[in-house]
Amino acid sequence: MNKVMPRPTAHDDEQLVAWLRRGEVDALAMLVDRHSSTMIRVALAYVPTRAAAEEVVQETWIAVMRGIDGFEGRASFKTWAFRILTNLAMRAGARERRSVPFSALAEAEETGQPSVDPDRFLPADHSLFPGHWTTMPTHWPAPEAGLLAGETREMIAATIAALPPAQRTVIALRDVEGWSSDEVSEALEISAGNQRVLLHRARSKVRNAIEAYYGAVEEIDYQAVTGERMADTGKRDPR
Amino acid sequence: MTDQHLPTPANELACNEAVEIMTDYLEGALSKRDAKRLERHAETCPGCTEYLEQMRTIAASLGGLTDESLSPEMRDRLLAAFRHPGAAP
């Protein structure tokens, strides 16, 4: 049993799992480092505090260590581990009287509110341009290092932290951690459609916040445009 | 603003409808027909073109914004529990 084995380096989960089964602590360290950030984000959808989320993640890794020999690899390691996490997080949430399946959280956040302030558009009964921009988005000043340079980064992070839990979790997994839509839908047990609705709400709010930060909008002078057209038809300006 | 803002025929998208389907569009979840409608709208609407570009930028820019790693203490305790099974973490 004292065979020399190469140390695990940048391997995929399945290789690391094989190493873990042989008792390699480095394999566990790599799995923990790779997945704990996303695990904390998912746990935070169920429990109210960062400390409680870390507890859930710790419990999850203990359950993974105990159960790894029984893991048959029918689902991916990630799917399996996150199923354990969700169950433990739900149970912890129940202790905090907050046990709500993710799908119910998602539903509660689906208020049917528009993504952009309705005042930004002409009314639906406008005779020429119903629903068109009155205050148009304009180009953001582009810092060379992109959106995440300097103060903008903190502002965006604060905006995401303040989102309702289901929206926050989806945008964090999709856009911050880089998960695919299938992975997110599966881990959170929601439909692809619900996942997109939450992502849309979240990205829209981030967009609104960046726009407000840059003040990048332009008022459209419909008076000028409609005035001309009304003169053509002999009617009065409907505004 | 000139002829970019022509009156909207009833079957065409208005801006406030266009902004609500942009994530579906970027995710490739719109029907071909609806995707075309959105593209046609954006071609003549600088506001919606800009909005779509901003949504695309957001989708592509947030990677690594924040990191939620375990605290080092908790990580160490976990690894110790693995090395010495039986001892409580």
Residues of B in contact with A65 (CB under 8 A): 81-82, 85
Range of the domain at A53: 13-99
A25 in B contact zone (CB under 8 Å) = yes
Cα nearest neighbour of A142 on chain B: B57
Residue A133 lies in a domain: yes
**What are the domain boundaries of chain B?**
15-83
Q: How many domains does chain A have?
A: 2
pTM of the model: 0.86
Is B16 within 8 Å of A114 when comparing Cβ atoms? yes
Is this complex scored with an ipTM above 0.90? no
How far the first Cα of chain B sits from its last, in Å, is 67
How far apart (Å, rounded) are the C-alpha atoms in residues A4 and A24?
A: 12
Q: Measured between alpha carbons, how far is A21 from A147 in angstroms, rounded to an integer?
A: 42
User: Is residue B26 predicted with pLDDT exceeding 90?
Assistant: yes
The answer as to whether A70 is a domain residue is: yes
The CATH class of B15-83 is: mainly alpha
A225 shares a domain with A144? yes
User: Residues A162, A82: one domain?
Assistant: no
Return the number of CB contacts < 8 Å for A and B: 161
- Write phi, then psi, for A220 (nearest 5 degrees): -95, 135
CATH number of the domain encompassing residue A198: 1.10.10.10
CB–CB of B1 and A220 under 8 A?
A: yes
Report yes or no: A188 and A83 within 8 Å, Cβ to Cβ: no
pLDDT tens digits along A178-213: 999 999 999 999 999 999 999 999 999 999 999 999
Model confidence pLDDT, tens digit, residues A170-187 = 999 999 999 999 999 999
